[in-house]
Amino acid sequence: MSGPNGHRTDILRTFIVFVEDKPGVLNRAASLFRRRAFNIESLNVGQTHVPGVSRMTVVVEADEDTARRIEHNLYKLVNVLEVHEITHSPRIERELALIKVTVPPEKRAEVMQIAEVFHARVVDMSSTTMILEVTGSHDLIAGLAGVLTEYGIEEMVQTGSVAMSRGSTPAMGHLGERRIDVA
């Protein structure tokens, strides 16, 4: 989506969304992104240490205006507690992948060396295959998958991004009126 003035500065943006752990919450969020034509790159949901509160990490391709509208539209969902865009904040952002590679015994050492370069771990081995587990950025995983292609990838599964800003965390759960700063 481009902004009202037509300039496109779409970049991948990362949102942290705290939601009440209630039935249908994921559906509500996903439906919002679909009907407002926001392009989801990845969406991850999981529990947090706080009972009843789940956390989503949503990566969306959007320009600045669209990003603000995504935030405001998420807040319109009654079950959404907090939304933080951390695209421009120092943060840790990770994806995880499991890659099953065809590896004959004589090439095992070679693949393990590659794994080491990408900080991947070998988590399973059979007479003809190995499973590598890798955690890191989208690019790192893509890089490893690229190198392993020449051996033959039998299966691959990948999570979306999970992200957390560095440093101290702003307090959550203020229940007063939202004061909106859109400028």
Partner 1 sequence: MTIVPFARPHVPTFETLLAEGRKKLLTTFPDRRGQVLTGAEIIWESLVREEVEVVFGYPGGAIMPAYDAMIAYPIHHVLVRHEQGASHMADGYARASGKVGVCIATSGPGATNLVTGIATAMLDSVPMVAITGQVPSGLLGSDAFQEVDITGVTLPITKHNFLVTDAADIATAIREAFYIARSGRPGPVLVDICKDAQQAKCTFEWKEGTVTLPGYRPTYTPLQRDLDKALALIGAAKRPVILAGQGIIKSQATDLLVQFAETANIPVALTLLGLGGFPASHPLNLGMMGMHGEAWVNNAIQDSDLLIAVGMRFDDRVTGRIATYAPYAKKIHIEMDPSEINKNIKVDVPIVGDVRTALEALLPHVHPVDRSAWHERINGSKGDAAVLDIQTLPDTGKLHAAHVIHDLWRATDGEALVVSDVGQHQMWEAQYYKHETPRSLLTSGGLGTMGFALPAAIGARFARKDADVWVVVGDGGFQMTACELSTLAQENIKVNVAIINNGFLGMVRQWQQFFYGGRYVATPIKSPDFVKLAEAHDLVGRRVTSRSEVIDTVRWARAQPGTVVIDFRVEQEDSVYPMVPAGADLNDMIRRTGQTVDGKAANHNPIFETGEDQ
**Tokens at residue 145, please?**
């998958």
Q: Which of 69, 84, 91, 94 is the binder for partner 1 (CB under 8 A)?
A: 69
What distance in Å separates the CA atoms of residue 133 and residue 38, rounded to the nearest whole number?
Answer: 31
Q: Judge whether 18 and 55 are in contact, CB under 8 Å.
A: yes
Question: Within its chain, how far is the Cα of 83 from the centroid?
Answer: 15
Q: Which of 6, 51, 90, 105 is the binder for partner 1 (CB under 8 A)?
A: 6
Nearest residue (CB) to partner 1, 35 versus 88: 35
Q: Which of residues 28-47 bind partner 1 (CB under 8 A)?
A: 28, 31, 35
What distance in Å separates the CA atoms of residue 160 and residue 12, rounded to the nearest whole number?
Answer: 13
Helix, strand and coil percent figures for the chain, each rounded to 5: 25, 40, 35
Q: Which of 23, 51, 105, 170 is the binder for partner 1 (CB under 8 A)?
A: 23
Give the interface segment with partner 1, choosing from 4-12, 91-99, 120-128, 142-150 (CB under 8 A): 4-12
Q: Which of residues 78-97 bind partner 1 (CB under 8 A)?
A: 78-81
Nearest residue (CB) to partner 1, 68 versus 84: 68
**Tokens at residue 18, please?**
């705290």
What distance in Å separates the CA atoms of residue 23 and residue 73, rounded to the nearest whole number?
Answer: 19
3-state SS class at 22: coil
The residue count for binding partner 1 (CB under 8 A) is 34
Nearest to 59 by CA among 181, 158, 172: 158
In the complex, least distance from residue 149 CB atom to partner 1, rounded to whole angstroms: 41
Give the interface segment with partner 1, choosing from 91-99, 118-126, 128-136, 175-183 (CB under 8 A): 175-183
- Site for partner 1, rule CB under 8 A: 3-6, 19-20, 23-24, 27-28, 31, 35, 65, 68-69, 72-73, 75-81, 173, 175-183
